[in-house]
Amino acid sequence: MKIYFEVVAIKGTMRWTENGKRRQKTREFSQTINPFNKNADGSIKDRSQIMWELIAQRSDWLKGEKP
């Protein structure tokens, strides 16, 4: 028996110029909605809570140093 959990995902694209050439790197940030994905208080995360976490992760990644 297989159980499928809904995936919540967003993508982020980092763009920069290196030696006169345009470069970019794309990364996907994702989590699933499942009974094991819980908050610190033990409650199950809903879609909006997961989206806020993913947006924060993407923002941190985009602020980071270029590869």
Confidence label for 65 from pLDDT (cuts 50, 70 and 90): confident
Q: Which residues contact 66 (CB under 8 A, 6 or more apart)?
A: 14, 16, 18, 23
What local confidence, expressed as pLDDT, does residue 26 receive? 96
- What count of residues does the chain have? 67
What is the pLDDT at residue 37? 93
Cβ–Cβ < 8 Å for 14, 24: yes
pTM of the model: 0.85
- pLDDT at residue 64 greater than cutoff 80: yes
Give residue-wise pLDDT tens across range 8-45.
999 999 999 999 999 999 999 999 999 999 999 999 99
Structural element, H or E, at residue 50 = helix 47-63
Spatial separation of the C-alpha atoms in residues 35 and 49, rounded to whole Å: 14
